[in-house]
Amino acid sequence: MASKFDFKKQKIAIDDSFVPFDRAQLHIASSAVLYGLSVYTVFAVNKTNRGMAVFRLKDHYQRLIESAHIMGIDSFVAKWDFDHFSATVLNLIDTNNIDTDVFIRATVHVTELVPGTRSRGLNTVLSMFIYEAMSILPKSGARLKTSVWRRIPDYAIPARAKVNGAYVNSVLGKQDAIDSGYDDCIFLDVAGHVCELSAANIFLIRNGVLITPDTTSDILEGINRKTIMEYAKAEGIPVQERTVDLTELYIADEIFACGTSAYVTPILQVDARDINGGKTGPITKLIAKIHFATLHGTHNADSDYLTLV
């Protein structure tokens, strides 16, 4: 039996240095700790027949830049262009001799000490660490509960910025779902429309059409979400981005969630209502198959998505 991947034995990137896991620290008086003032992204690194490969690295860098820009964290982009960022990712993988599927979490932390509630002109540090590629949802299928908590709206804390502090909203929603015997929650926006899961985007299929909440529905503009729509269009599956009512989920032919840490996970039940008789549907199976092949370098379009190490 293969030994379990131990992320605590890995070296962590702190800016341009690689340090042992237990030496990577932030001060308790930093903005990152006091206010959750960090932005992050998580991306997959997978084993292929051409070596290790990073999934949509430039897209993840761009989202990190955009998250920082939305939050007014202005020192990150001045220190880190894409070439610098990419080289650090590849060096981190090489330094740790990674030869199995993993995730990398890259985070920009505001490290200024006790600056008050502001974001511009403050010191930052970029951290990256590697951990086991484990799905946050049951691979066989998940059961969802509509959250008693609403998704934070764009005019309060924008979901399109991956801000560490904002994930308190996700924790509340997911913990309520777990306490109620479900795997995860579905967030609704302030108008009652479907947003997403606690940390994954959502798709439904009705009458052969792939439907997902649009980018004005207080969702994360997921990189995997974008990729799924590209797969569907290549397969001739019609795609709609629009507002989605909760009851549309109840009568959907299929539903699945997607994200770096969710992969493509079939949703088998919503609010105690079975979807497709509690079984994975054909379009979900097709999309999941294409996505797995792309991540592992066996799909004919994978070169558009992968950065080889």
Average pLDDT, the chain: 96
- Residue after which a domain boundary falls, among 101, 132, 163: 132
Do residue 93 and residue 162 come from a single domain?
Answer: no
Phi–psi pair at 5, nearest 5 degrees: -65, 125
Say yes or no: 54 and 125 in one domain: yes
Q: Tell me what the mean pLDDT of segment 38-62 comes to.
A: 97
Domain shared by 153 and 271, yes or no: yes
The reply to whether 304 falls in a domain is no
Task: Report how far residue 40's alpha carbon sits from residue 77's, in angstroms, rounded to the nearest whole number.
Answer: 14
* Beta-strand relationship, 306-308 and 51-55: antiparallel
What is the per-residue pLDDT across 87-106, written as a single tens digit (0 to 9) for each?
999 999 999 999 999 999 99
Res 184 pLDDT > 80: yes
For the segment 291-307, the average pLDDT, to the nearest whole number, is: 89
**Final residue before a domain boundary, out of 132, 160, 194:** 132
Residue 216 CB contacts under 8 Å (≥ 6 apart), including other chains: 154
Residue 160 tokens, joined: 């399109």
Domain boundary among 85, 109, 132: 132
Band (299; pLDDT cuts 50, 70, 90):
confident
Domain with residue 78: its CATH number is 3.30.470.10
Do 181 and 266 sit in the same domain of this protein? yes
The verdict on 21 and 88 lying in the same domain is yes
Give 217's strand partners. none
At 198 the pLDDT is 98
What's the rounded mean pLDDT across residues 204-230? 98
Domain count, the chain: 2
> Both 152 and 117 in a single domain?
no
Which domain covers residue 185, as residue numbers? 142-295
What span, in angstroms and rounded, lies between the C-alpha atoms of 251 and 255? 10
Label residue 188 by pLDDT band (50, 70, 90). Answer: very high
> Model confidence at 2, in pLDDT bands (50, 70, 90)?
very low
pLDDT at 301: 66
Structural domain contains residue 251? yes
Look at residue 1 in the predicted model and tell me its pLDDT. Answer: 37
| Residues near 277 by beta carbon (within 8 Å), at least 6 away in sequence | none
What does the longest C-alpha to C-alpha distance in the chain come to?
Answer: 55
Q: Is residue 171 over pLDDT 50?
A: yes
Q: Are residues 120 and 148 in the same domain?
A: no
